[in-house]
Structure 1
């Protein structure tokens, strides 16, 4: 009788063991099928399978975002008096996000697992190191070729705005290249990439030298807010351009029209809507190289503050975007509206 009981207990235990789910090795450790040598991995857990997969992708993406944050010195590189080159900083940040998104497009959900009914889902995201590395190397070579072309154009163009535009493009492209290199060192198990052909400090120095030669006289032809001349002069100084009060001493004029219209008061708020139009003109030929507009709308509880707020808003916009606009004129990217 005792023997039968023991056999029954053993059978029950064996049945329980047979029903126990086998936990995949990638849940808590290394995966035999998806080795870290061949793949970059990300893991996610959630109550729904879709959310678990999203978290796995996000976990994998952290490998890139954390590294970029650690190595990024863009703001330090660009600071030069006042607000510096904020417009280029914005472009750089946008490019980093775009490049990260492109890498994430190559991520695949290799496996999904759930322990039991009602339990959480687990997902494994993988990125093939070899395939991603090949894409990055091809992109780096392409960026190096584009940089060489921009440098040659900066040296061969006759007009200073065209030279500055080309030098700026070379600088921006190499910043993109540096980010690609950072991604490559993460994906490449050796931690190496492709040695840079150009030094960012040298490109930055070349750009600054050209920019310091650009002499522009700001001239407001319409000023509904007041202080328009100071607004343009301050913005030119902040981006490193030498502004001349005497138009005969400069080769270029920055013509500005600042129009504004006060709107009807609503619920105790005073509103002002307007537009700032700037045009870059060659003083000698009087040719308009390019024109750009910024539309704005501001409000205040006090009538005497609404124009002040409008000027403050425009000052911040110019510090952030004027350099990109002016160099865009040189490259033909900023067309007249």
Structure 2
């Protein structure tokens, strides 16, 4: 083959490669034969650098999913807990949100950058991120099915439990599982081309009703040595009344808060008087079984000494109510 012929072929090949490099990919128009919508979830991003385009494409695909933006207004258990304590409700929301984000982050590890194209005129990079819908749907369905089993099991155990404390514990666990399931089910509807999601074993309203009924059936006993004016006890009762719980005589008590209250006062060289109210106590079920033993303390300050003492004791009472509900909720994790 002559040298001139070889040169012509090399030039032709170079022109062909250049033309292919310039060809605008079909996925920039919103659809792709290679990555069809029925098989892949996709997102496109553009930026001035290759890495920035890649990062933005991944972020855009993540935005499709509801788990990253779990609603703070629809969490059933959080709404119920807010009657007792706003911080406890917020803490619950954060725990659920962190768990859901962890699940989604694991699923989003399947995201890959399928193609990158550079517009030679503008110099900008376009990145296509894709995620296999069927694989994601499978992973989400497994998690949703696990939560459905937990919901059904906790409701079953709650219905069978004789103690209203145990009933409430299991129903709260079921309500939490429902809160975790909601955004995952929404993502499953996006990932699965059929949009199919199994029917809930129990509707949130059904479980919420069981929670309300169980809480209203709990009879409390409060025995706090050192609570001379009953400030701590009164704060506990007021806080738990919002959940329907009520004081009862000893022979009717389902759970007892038994302990000792202490108050310490000091000044820090300023006009403020500081008080630290603390309690060493046990939570016991009917029959004497100890649910937990703990120490709780609350610090408050005021320009008026008596006011600082009262605020510290009232704060301690509210915190004891929170601790009681948290212990009741955790009982359901261990089983019957």
Measured against the shorter chain, the TM-score band is: 0.7 to 0.9
1:64 aligns with 2:65: yes
1:254 aligns with 2:252: no
Are residues 114 and 310 of structure 1, via their aligned partners in 2, closer, same or farther at CA, if it must alter by over 3 Å? farther
5 Å-filtered alignment, 1:1-337, equals 21-27=22-28, 29-65=30-66, 73-74=74-75, 78-79=79-80, 82-83=83-84, 86=89, 88-115=92-119, 119-222=123-226, 227-244=231-248, 246-259=249-262, 261=264, 265=268, 275-282=278-285, 285-294=287-296, 302=303, 304=305, 310=312, 322-329=324-331, 331-332=333-334
| Corresponding residue for residue 12 of structure 2 | none
Deviation, structure 1 residue 215? 0.8
On the 8 A contact 1:225/1:260 being kept in 2, the answer is: no
Are residues 20 and 147 of structure 1, via their aligned partners in 2, closer, same or farther at CA, if it must alter by over 3 Å? closer
Secondary structure at 1:26's aligned position in 2? Answer: helix
Are residues 66 and 265 of structure 1, via their aligned partners in 2, closer, same or farther at CA, if it must alter by over 3 Å? same
Are residues 62 and 240 of structure 1, via their aligned partners in 2, closer, same or farther at CA, if it must alter by over 3 Å? farther
Deviation, structure 1 residue 217? 2.4
Are residues 320 and 167 of structure 1, via their aligned partners in 2, closer, same or farther at CA, if it must alter by over 3 Å? same
Q: Deviations over 1:108-164 (max 9, x none)?
A: 232334445994543322221101111122222222222332233223334432232
Deviation, structure 1 residue 236? 1.5
Deviation, structure 1 residue 229? 1.6
Are residues 76 and 215 of structure 1, via their aligned partners in 2, closer, same or farther at CA, if it must alter by over 3 Å? closer
Q: Provide structure 2 residue ranges, at least 5 long, that are not aligned to the other structure.
A: 1-14
C-alpha distance in 2 between matches for 1:120 and 1:321: 56
C-alpha distance in 2 between matches for 1:224 and 1:51: 65
Deviation, structure 1 residue 79? 4.1
The two structures, once aligned, show a CA RMSD in angstroms of 4.1
Secondary structure at 1:219's aligned position in 2? Answer: strand
On the 8 A contact 2:297/2:316 being kept in 1, the answer is: no
On the 8 A contact 2:174/2:207 being kept in 1, the answer is: yes
Deviation, structure 1 residue 248? 4.8
Are residues 197 and 161 of structure 1, via their aligned partners in 2, closer, same or farther at CA, if it must alter by over 3 Å? same
Q: Provide structure 1 residue ranges, at least 5 long, that are not aligned to the other structure.
A: 1-13
Q: Deviations over 1:26-55 (max 9, x none)?
A: 345323322222111233344554443332
Task: State the aligned residue count.
Answer: 316
Secondary structure at 1:44's aligned position in 2? Answer: strand
**TM-score (structure 2 length as normaliser):** 0.73
Are residues 205 and 143 of structure 1, via their aligned partners in 2, closer, same or farther at CA, if it must alter by over 3 Å? same
Deviation, structure 1 residue 262? 5.3
Q: Deviations over 1:48-91 (max 9, x none)?
A: 54443332222112222389657962259834883478265454
Q: Deviations over 1:186-240 (max 9, x none)?
A: 1122333222232221122122222211111233334599832222212222333
